[in-house]
Chain A
């Protein structure tokens, strides 16, 4: 049993927990989209991302998402960061602020570093958003929400219930498989495998001692599950009733309005910055409209 599983549901009773999962799902997608919008130059990007991080951070505090486990989970991003840095180093780009000119054909720019930083911040925000959703919403509720969004497809005879069953099974088995993985890891650790030490080759070797048994047990588990479901007469194409019905309350409406407001502002800014230019220019432009 590991307590710091990334984005594991925590049974607090905060406002974020109580919100409608359909809304939370929508908000997640919307915020993810706006995190990935273009905002013109780097000053713009970092100002907007800063504001968004602030908002997301506040949501995390309200939803009692553990910052500690969040940052710990980010530690694996380091590898990605280094990879990106190396990658960016070898891509010749034209930037505004040169760091060092190796020769006339190749110059390293600050822009490259900023680009990497930008990507990383976007990724971190995306992870944060996902964690907010999963740690404040029961997996079953997420499935219900997905199912609800898929309902329009029923018109074209799309088997939505099969999709939602697949998703809910996948979600349902995440903790089980994590437990399983933990058990196998413990067994292998007792046989002298050290998952923390060693670099690359050693790590890959030690990971295979985990992956192979995990896959084996995965297959046998899914077999058993299929048999158990068939034995109980499960028919994937029947209409299903639901144990829990979802309610959209005024709180959800308020939250929805807030998110749409934020998204609207950011999208407007994104459009303005792409047609007009830098942050100062946009401010001047808005100021100009006001004074006119």
Chain B
């Protein structure tokens, strides 16, 4: 059984209004445990809306999102059906605090969520809300701060006097401190310098290797290429498919998704266009590409 299931979900903003806007439309797919999934698509394709249904911040107007055994839906018929079948109680379908412990959510510019006097207190805030004891929360907080690369000297500092990258790391520590099984990141690297970006992404990778399922919303195809093991493409509120990043970038009609192709694949395409005959489709990183090309040279000799 899949860990996250989207069952034909749709979401409409401002339903009875001239501003009505269908953010996502009949989206239906599953995400497996321990995946590192990247969610791509151009601005306004519904990526953020989709991930916000994962912890009940938004309730799908139609269909339902299932995370482990939790159901998120605002669809009255689905609720009626589930209650009738006695699988869920109505109250359970409206209380998301347990679900929110399972699904950590890192928004764009997560540093805006900081509010406590000290870094340590801020990181402890999440776990304490989810029922960890004071002591446990402190342990978790210290552990996570170490994980994000902030040492003891930071504990008693005010989060507002830190640099942008540090703030962001504190914010991420505050989310992983509640020990979620899923981590959803909505463009976590916006506004960071290349080094800061790399640090955050390597941190995410580390978290993933420790057994957390990662869902990352991004515009940065380098991230998709280097970190994700699956990529989901959304276009105009619709689901276009889930594939391996290399499959996506090797597609000939990738322009129709309005995605920016990473330089490596541009290079490969150019290579083909200039008349290179040998099949380089399987070579998805620099070393294997060089191997393929050099082996070809030997053959020519």
Contact = CB atoms under 8 A, between A and B. Distances in A.
Given A189-B100, A191-B129, A192-B178, A209 B13 contact: no
B265 interface: no
A38 interface: no
Interface in B134-160: 160
Q: What band does the interface of chain A fall in when counting residues whose beta carbon is under 8 Å from B?
A: 20 to 34
Interface in A1-28: 1, 3, 10-12
A255 interface: no
Interface string A57-93: 0000000001000000000000000000000000000
Given A3-B17, A194-B97, A186 B52 contact: yes
Interface in B82-121: 97, 100-101, 103-105, 107-108, 110, 112-115
Contacts of A11: 18-19
Contacts of A216: 112, 160
A261 to B, nearest CB: 32
Interface string B166-207: 000000001100100000000000000000000000000000
A208 B114 CA distance: 11
Contact of B112 (A1, A183, A191, A194): A183
B31 to A, nearest CB: 18
Interface residues of B, number: 31
**Does more than half of chain B's interface fall in helix, strand or loop, or is it mixed?**
mixed
Given A192-B101, A192-B130, A3 B112 contact: no
A6 to B, nearest CB: 14
A208 B105 contact: no
B22 to A, nearest CB: 13
Nearest to B14: A3
Nearest to A180: B112
B18 A10 contact: yes
A193 interface: yes
A170 interface: no
A174 interface: no
B115 A192 contact: no
A115 B19 CA distance: 41
Interface centre among B19, B57, B113 (most CB of A within 10 A): B113
B120 to A, nearest CB: 15
Contacts of A209: 113, 115, 125
Interface of B: 13-19, 52, 55, 57, 97, 100-101, 103-105, 107-108, 110, 112-115, 125-126, 129-130, 160, 174-175, 178
21 contacts: A3-B13, A10-B19, A12-B18, A180-B112, A184-B112, A186-B52, A186-B57, A186-B105, A186-B107, A187-B105, A187-B110, A189-B55, A190-B57, A191-B113, A191-B125, A191-B174, A191-B175, A192-B100, A192-B101, A194-B97, A209-B115
What 10 pairs across the A-B complex have the smallest Cβ distances? A192-B129, A190-B105, A187-B113, A212-B115, A191-B126, A3-B14, A192-B130, A187-B107, A213-B112, A186-B57
